[in-house]
Structure 1
Amino acid sequence: MGRNGKGQAKKGGRIRRLFTWRKLLGTFFVGCLLVMGAFYVLYLMVPVPTANADATLQSNVYKYANGKVLARTGKINREIVGLDKVPLEVQHAFVAAENKTFYKDNGVDIKGTARAAWNTLTGKGKQGGSTITQQYVKNYYLSQDQTATRKLKEMVIALKVDRNMTKPEILAGDMNTSYYGRNAYGIQAAAQAYYGVDATRLTVDQGAYLASVLQAPSQYDWTSAGPEGRKLVEERWSYVLDNMVEEGWLDAGKRAGMKFPAPQKPKAPKGLSGQSGYIVEAANQELMRQGVSEEDLKAGGWTITLNIDEKKQKALVKAVDKQLEDKIDRKGDKKQATVQAGATSVDPKTGAVVAMYGGVGATEHWTNNATRRDYQPASTFKPLVLASAIDNHAVTQDGRKIGLGTVYDGTSRRPVVGSPIAFAPENEDDRSYGPVTVQRATNSSINSVYAQMIVDVGFAKAKQTGLALGLKDGPDFGEGPSMSLGVMTASTMDMAGAYATLDNHGVKVTPTLVKSAEHKDRKAEPVKSIGERVISREAADTTTKAMQGVVRSGSGFRAAGDYQAAGKTGTSENNRSAWFVGYTPEIVTAVGLFGEDANGNQVTLTNTINPGRANGGRTPAQIWGAYTTAALGGGSDATFDLETDGTSGDTGAPTPTATTGSPSPTPSSSASEGSTTPTQPTTPTGTTPPQPPTSTATAPPPPTTPPTKPTEPTIVPTPDGGTGIVDGGRGGQ
Structure 2
Amino acid sequence: MANQTRSVSSTSPTRRAQSGSRGGGNRTDIPTSRHADRNPRGNGPRRGRRRKSHRVLKWILALLGLVLVAGAAAFAYLYLTTEIIPPEKQALAQKTTVYYADGTTPIGTYADQNREIIDCTVLPKYVGNAVVASENRSFYKDNGIDLKGIGRALLNNVTKGTRQGGSTITQQYAERYYLGETTSYKGKLREAILSLKISRTENKDTVLCNYMNTIYFGRGAYGIQAAAQNYFGKDAKDLTMPESAMLAGIIPAPASWDPAINPKQAESRFHRVLGIMEEDHYISHKDRVGAQMPQTIKYSPENVYQGPNGYLLRMVRNELSSGKKAPFTADDLDTGGYRIITTIQKDKQDLMFQVASPTTGNKHQPPTLQTGGLSVDPKTGAIISLYAGDDYLTHQLNNVDQATFQVGSTMKAYTLLGAIQDGVSLNTVFNGNSPRTFSSVGKSVANAGQVSYGYINLYSAFANSVNTVFMDLGEHVTSQKTAQLAHTAGITGKIDDTTTFDTLGLDALSVYDVTQGYATLANGGKRPLLHLVAQVKDAKDQELYTAAIQSDQVFNADQVALLQKAMTTTVQYGTASYARSLGRPIAGKTGTANDQTAISFIGFTPSLLTTFAVWNQGQDGSALKVPDVYQNEFYPVQLFTQYMKSALGNSPVERFPAAEDHGKIGGPDGSWGTGYKPSYSYTPRRNYNYEYVPQQRNQQQTVPQEESGAGSGSGSGNGGGAEGGNGGTTEGNSGSESSQ
Which band: TM-score by shorter chain?
0.5 to 0.7
CA contact (8 A) 2:400 2:510 kept: yes
CA contact (8 A) 1:119 1:127 kept: no
Q: Distance in 2 between matches of 1:641 and 1:444?
A: 22
Residue correspondence of structure 1 range 322-337 to structure 2 within 5 A: 322=358, 326-330=363-367, 337=368
* 1:314 equivalent in alignment to 2:350: yes
Residue correspondence of structure 1 range 205-284 to structure 2 within 5 A: 213-216=247-250, 266=299, 268-284=301-317
Q: Distance in 2 between matches of 1:442 and 1:491?
A: 23
Which residue is equivalent to 2:18?
A: none
Residue correspondence of structure 1 range 193-204 to structure 2 within 5 A: 193=230, 203=237
CA contact (8 A) 1:283 1:514 kept: yes
Which residue is equivalent to 2:555?
A: 535
Which residue is equivalent to 2:643?
A: 627
Q: Distance in 1 between matches of 2:730 and 2:384?
A: 38
Aligned with residue 591 of structure 2, among 563, 570, 591: 570
* 1:394 equivalent in alignment to 2:423: yes
Which residue is equivalent to 2:471?
A: 451
Which residue is equivalent to 1:555?
A: 575
Amino acid at match of 1:620: P
Aligned with residue 642 of structure 1, among 646, 656, 676: 656
Corresponding residue SS for 2:221: coil
Corresponding residue SS for 1:369: coil
Q: Distance in 2 between matches of 1:583 and 1:244?
A: 70
Q: Distance in 2 between matches of 1:148 and 1:692?
A: 91
Which residue is equivalent to 1:681?
A: none
Q: Distance in 2 between matches of 1:560 and 1:211?
A: 65
From the superposition, tell whether residues 440 and 692 of structure 1 become closer, same or farther in structure 2 (CA, over 3 Å): closer
CA contact (8 A) 1:463 1:479 kept: no
CA contact (8 A) 2:684 2:721 kept: no
CA drift at 1:618: 1.9
Which residue is equivalent to 1:139?
A: 176
Q: Distance in 2 between matches of 1:677 and 1:309?
A: 42
* 1:357 equivalent in alignment to 2:387: yes
Which residue is equivalent to 2:482?
A: 462
Amino acid at match of 1:394: G
Q: Distance in 2 between matches of 1:494 and 1:470?
A: 7
Amino acid at match of 2:364: K
Corresponding residue SS for 1:327: coil
From the superposition, tell whether residues 208 and 454 of structure 1 become closer, same or farther in structure 2 (CA, over 3 Å): farther
* 1:291 equivalent in alignment to 2:307: no
Amino acid at match of 2:350: K
* 1:655 equivalent in alignment to 2:681: yes
TM-score when normalising by structure 2: 0.67
Q: Distance in 1 between matches of 2:563 and 2:130?
A: 67
CA contact (8 A) 1:381 1:484 kept: yes
CA contact (8 A) 2:489 2:516 kept: yes
CA contact (8 A) 2:444 2:731 kept: no
Report percent identity of matched pairs: 23
Aligned with residue 588 of structure 1, among 597, 609, 612: 609
Amino acid at match of 1:354: I
CA contact (8 A) 2:130 2:245 kept: yes
* 1:376 equivalent in alignment to 2:406: yes
Residue correspondence of structure 1 range 184-199 to structure 2 within 5 A: 184-186=221-223, 189-190=226-227, 193=230
From the superposition, tell whether residues 637 and 546 of structure 1 become closer, same or farther in structure 2 (CA, over 3 Å): farther
Q: Distance in 2 between matches of 1:487 and 1:457?
A: 17
Higher mean Cα deviation, 583-592 or 135-144?
135-144
CA contact (8 A) 1:434 1:655 kept: yes
List gaps (5 residues or longer) in structure 1: 1-30, 247-259, 331-336, 396-400, 660-667, 679-690
Residue correspondence of structure 1 range 443-522 to structure 2 within 5 A: 443-472=463-492, 474=494, 476-478=495-497, 480-517=499-536
Q: Distance in 2 between matches of 1:353 and 1:584?
A: 15
From the superposition, tell whether residues 170 and 211 of structure 1 become closer, same or farther in structure 2 (CA, over 3 Å): farther
From the superposition, tell whether residues 225 and 657 of structure 1 become closer, same or farther in structure 2 (CA, over 3 Å): same
CA drift at 1:637: 3.6
Which residue is equivalent to 1:711?
A: 726
CA drift at 1:653: 4.3
From the superposition, tell whether residues 294 and 657 of structure 1 become closer, same or farther in structure 2 (CA, over 3 Å): closer
CA contact (8 A) 1:80 1:301 kept: no
Which residue is equivalent to 1:675?
A: 703
Which residue is equivalent to 1:340?
A: 370
From the superposition, tell whether residues 705 and 494 of structure 1 become closer, same or farther in structure 2 (CA, over 3 Å): closer
From the superposition, tell whether residues 109 and 162 of structure 1 become closer, same or farther in structure 2 (CA, over 3 Å): closer
Corresponding residue SS for 1:356: strand
Q: Distance in 2 between matches of 1:67 and 1:238?
A: 42
Corresponding residue SS for 1:615: helix
From the superposition, tell whether residues 412 and 142 of structure 1 become closer, same or farther in structure 2 (CA, over 3 Å): closer
Which residue is equivalent to 2:431?
A: 409
Q: Distance in 2 between matches of 1:535 and 1:588?
A: 18
Which residue is equivalent to 1:158?
A: 195
Question: Deviation digits for residues 145-197 of structure 1, max 9, x if unmatched?
Answer: 8x999988754441245568787985665344211333111356446646878
From the superposition, tell whether residues 87 and 548 of structure 1 become closer, same or farther in structure 2 (CA, over 3 Å): farther
* Cα RMSD for the two superposed structures: 5.6
Corresponding residue SS for 1:340: strand
Q: Distance in 1 between matches of 2:496 and 2:377?
A: 27
Q: Distance in 1 between matches of 2:536 and 2:730?
A: 48
CA drift at 1:577: 1.9
Q: Distance in 2 between matches of 1:556 and 1:490?
A: 21
Q: Distance in 2 between matches of 1:91 and 1:458?
A: 75
Q: Distance in 1 between matches of 2:145 and 2:491?
A: 66
Amino acid at match of 2:415: V
Which residue is equivalent to 1:618?
A: 634
CA contact (8 A) 1:407 1:653 kept: no
Amino acid at match of 1:434: G
* 1:579 equivalent in alignment to 2:600: yes
CA contact (8 A) 1:436 1:653 kept: no
CA drift at 1:493: 0.8
Q: Distance in 2 between matches of 1:489 and 1:384?
A: 16
From the superposition, tell whether residues 575 and 188 of structure 1 become closer, same or farther in structure 2 (CA, over 3 Å): farther
CA drift at 1:485: 1.4
Amino acid at match of 2:654: F
